[in-house]
Structure 1
Amino acid sequence: MFTHVAGYRFVEIDDPDTLVGILHARADALALRGTILVAREGLNLFLAGAPASVDAFLRELRDDVRFAGLPVHVTGAETLPYARLKVCHKREIITFRDDDTSPLHRRAPGVTPAALARWIAQGCDDGGRRVVLLDTRNREEVAHGTFAGAVTLPIDRFTELPTAIDALRDGLRDATVVSFCTGGIRCEKAALWMGDHGIGDVVQLEGGILGYFAQVGGYGYEGECFVFDGRVALAPPATD
């Protein structure tokens, strides 16, 4: 078995090229495979390898004050889900192309997986307000599974989200809108953008679908969750 980790952090990085070199050398020395994206707005990583090697990489990464306590989603893989290692300097760690929507110094309110499961069970949020689950992923990802009754978007790229959301604006009024995605990173920008553009009372699902699976299981979710590696999609863990 191999260990797979995925995580991100929005944090100011003044020296992305230098960090790319450091991270590539360390991950390569540990025989890790996957992708690390570095931008001035932060870090986004998907890595897999021997459990001890993954642990060693994360320990060293978290020694950097910018990434102290970096949360990651941890799953298992029977084979390495990546063919090679790629560490790149990008303009954004998740492409949205809206410089005004930055989670560097602010973020939208969040809802924990446990609280969302409670809202799903009772059919409203804790204040009695109707809940709209909004899937911010693209149609290929949604085809593998999503929350029951979720609003999905006819998009192929995350950059198309603003136009798609504008078309749904009336249906999001007077609701608590829960923005969700695979691991949380798109939820961050989507929820901020919606809040800035007067669309509902928006919260983001903390940790995304993978965080929900880890803490709650598959309650209220139908199908699997698409992931960006050779495993294609992950099923929610079995519950008693």
Structure 2
Amino acid sequence: MSIVNISAYKFISLDDLPVLRERLFARCEALALKGTILLAPEGINLFLAGSRAQIDGFTETLHDDPRFADIAPKESLSDDVPFGRLRVRLKQEIITMRLPTIRPEGGRAPAVDAPTLQRWLDQGHDDDGREVVLLDTRNDYETDLGKFPQAVDYRIASFTEFPAAIAADRARYEGKTIVSYCTGGIRCEKAALHMQDLGMEHVHQLEGGILKYLEQTDGAHWQGDCFVFDGRVAVDSTLAPADVPMPATRTDKDRDA
């Protein structure tokens, strides 16, 4: 597999969006990359594919901007480019939640890395002895393809439904350690901050999401495939393209990195 697929995001205040859009579009076009870059006042969210040389060329350009110097894209491989074209879009949010008070740039909720989460799941509790509750923040058609089977799944059709779902179910989590997860980290980062704002305790997010979990562990406790927002549809536990049909209810309202 010769095509490198990258995804990355960063919550950071951006006030030069039109100029930044033109600069990133021109660089991607010069490198013949395909995929999507989302830009908003709260940050950047990107999904691109190309050869190793093309991807490395873009990453160098991205890191030349001090605001993005610490971005470390997640990678997976495929035989073909899973995008039909290049898009660089300006949006109100890089992941739509419609709660403007949630600003991850101001401080993240605690994160747990993949090996630590696997160890917690193996032993049945966190390092303080609390029961661990996994919370899937993705859409229903994503969880249908794969999930941690013991996770709470609200069967939401869009991330904008998450705040109401969690507010109605807070009692479930009392005295327990909560680990929110999503495909690449962006949704569970906002979700964890929102839960903290609700006064919920022992809230964590899975660092790097499902993709980082599958990369850094043997995939134990995960079941099925992981939906991705491109032509591959999903990747398996080895991060190789999975042979699954496109869900009929797929929407691009929620993109994850």
TM-score by length of 1: 0.97
1:150-169 matches, cutoff 5 A:
150-169=151-170
Q: CA deviation at 1:26?
A: 0.4
In 2: Cα distance, 1:125 partner to 1:23 partner = 42
Counterpart AA for 2:35: G
The answer to whether residue 55 in structure 2 is matched with residue 60 in structure 1 is: no
- The answer as to whether partners of 1:154 and 1:164 remain within 8 angstroms in 2 is no
C-alpha distance in 1 between matches for 2:12 and 2:145:
31
Deviation at 1:190, TM superposition (A): 0.2
1:144 matched residue in structure 2:
145
In structure 2, how many angstroms separate the alpha carbons of the residues matched to 1:63 and 1:196? 35
Q: 1:236 maps to what in 2?
A: 237
**Structure-2 separation of matches of 1:200 and 1:124:** 16
TM-score (norm 2): 0.91
How many residues are treated as equivalent by the alignment?
238
Could you say what secondary structure the match of 1:132 adopts?
strand
Q: CA deviation at 1:169?
A: 1.2
Give unmatched runs, 5+ long, in structure 2. Answer: 240-257
Is 1:214 paired with 2:203?
no
Letter in 2 for 1:89: L
Quote the offset at 1:199 in angstroms: 2.5
Q: Deviations over 1:97-140 (max 9, x none)?
A: 10111101111000010110000000000110000000000100
**In structure 1, how many angstroms separate the alpha carbons of the residues matched to 2:218 and 2:64?**
31
SS in 2 for 1:24: helix
Q: Which runs of 5+ in 1 are unaligned?
A: none
Contact 1:109 1:202 (C-alpha < 8 Å) held by counterparts: yes
Structure 2 Cα separation of the partners of residues 31 and 217 of structure 1: 34
Output the CA distance in 2 between the equivalents of 1:59 and 1:207.
Answer: 21
- Is the CA contact (8 Å cut-off) linking 1:7 and 1:71 kept in structure 2? yes
User: What is the aligned partner in structure 2 of residue 115 from structure 1?
Assistant: 116
Match of 2:192 in 1: 191
Distance 2:70 2:175 in 1: 36
Write the distance in 2 (CA, Å) between the matches of 1:72 and 1:152: 27
2:106 corresponds to which residue? 105
Identity of aligned residues (%): 50
Q: CA deviation at 1:154?
A: 2.0
Q: Check whether the contact 1:101–1:192 (CA below 8 A) recurs between aligned residues.
A: yes
The match for 2:8 is 7
Residue deviations 1:162-182 (CA, integer Å, cap 9, x gap): 111122211111110001000
Q: Tell me the equivalent position of 2:51.
A: 50
RMSD (Å), alpha carbons: 1.0
In structure 1, distance between residues paired with 2:168 and 2:101 = 21
Question: What is the 5 A alignment of 1:64-75?
Answer: 64-75=65-76
Write out per-residue CA displacement over residues 166-220 of structure 1, whole angstroms, 9 at most, x where no aligned residue.
2221111111000100000001100000011023421000000001111113111
**2:28 aligned counterpart, secondary structure:** helix
